[in-house]
Amino acid sequence: MSISLLAREVKESPTLALNEAARRLREKGEPVIHLGAGEPKSKVPIDAILACASKLKTADIRYTPTEGIPALLKAVVRYTEENYNTQVAPENICIHAGAKQAIYNLMMTIVNPQDEVVILAPYWVSYPEIVKMVYGVPVIVQPEDGRFQPRMEDIEAVVGSYTKVIIVNSPNNPSGAVYSEEFIAQIVEFCEKKGIYLIMDDIYHKLIFDDNRFVSPYDYVKDDSDNSKLIVVNGVSKAYAMTGFRIGWTIANRKVNAAMINVAAQNTSCPSMVLQYAAVGALEGVQSCIENLRQTLENSRNVMLNELNSFTGIRTVKPGGTFYCLPDFRAYSKDSTQLCKFLLDKARVVTVPGVEFGMEGHLRLSYCGSVKEITEGVKRIKWALDPDSPNEIYIGDRKLRRDWK
């Protein structure tokens, strides 16, 4: 069987692989705790469900314009004005089958073979793979050890004649870091000066803690004409807990947007009409669900940090948003992949290896689940790793003894 060179170079999703391993264990009756999940547990907003159901009842479900239904374009225009303090036109917007496809379509539209895309570590696992899938070259910028806030001098050091794009994700998956207002201002100014595309992946922008606020990149744009190379990616997956609906969007200048619509038309034709109407319902409906989720996650983050701080040797940077943290486990193992496998095998806890995010020796832990799952999951990890923890533990109805060093 002949598989293309490109397909052979694309890595398997570590999250999906771990989810599958956990699923198999659960089918065997094993009491697995999932601290690797990337989706909120709260219910989908009722306004989204009603809008979706209303459209389904018509039994008139057809193709839509590639760029999205007019009602959703209008909703995104209003959402952008309210949340970003800027006005955009429907001609600047394209709706995609999720923010992941939005980023793929973007890269296919603006990146030529061998163009470089600067990615700030820790980064979402799919960024480098998507860049490689369009024959670009991912250039990784590592943070200073012990922090997740990128430095402009490190970014400037890697930018050259082949640099086409810088992609920024704040609040950040996997670390939960919220980049400073000063940094957002600097990166916008730098990209404008250099003529580089700046993609702001803002999918978590509503999930920020400690009374901090989201910083709109548009506040620092000097060129607000239709030649701007600032591109924003967002969607309903995280803040509205609508991961399964797969609706995201991009905001770009009209020339980029028109080209991207052509790319999407030849790729998927259009997102599902029904799911687009659900997104309209979410964006135009009661918004209290977002604040409820944000408060729940902030409390869960505090529980997670409190549990992790009881570890000997674990170092955790306090997340400012999202539903992830990225503790440093190098005191126990410098191989995060093997450590994840060990924790799943011994403690029946799912985690995600930091190496996949550009941070070897770290593990991504999610606090999407219940407080009980968080406390029990961290308790099991501590039992498996920390020699100062009790030697015995109950996992499910079985009493286990730690017999390794």
User: Rounded CA gap, 237 and 368, in Å?
Assistant: 14
Low-confidence ranges of the chain (pLDDT < 70): 1, 14-15
172 dihedral zone (left: phi>0; alpha: psi -120 to 50; beta): beta
Sheet holding 363-366, edge to edge: 324-325, 363-366, 352-353
Predicted local confidence at residue 25, as pLDDT: 86
Omega before 122 cis (within 30°)? yes
pLDDT of residue 1: 63
What domains appear along the chain, each with residue ranges and CATH number? 5-43+288-401 (3.90.1150.10), 46-284 (3.40.640.10)
pLDDT for 160: 97
Displacement of CA 405 from its chain's centroid (Å)? 35
Q: CB atoms < 10 A from the CB of 338, how many?
A: 11
The SS3 call for residue 280 is helix
**Nearby residues of 246 by Cβ (< 8 Å), 6 or more positions away:** 97, 98, 101, 237, 271, 272, 275
Please tell me the predicted confidence (pLDDT) of residue 255.
Answer: 97
Q: Which helix (H) or strand (E) holds 76?
A: helix 70-84
Cα distance between residue 124 and residue 120, in whole Å:
9
Residues found in the chain: 405
pLDDT of residue 19: 76
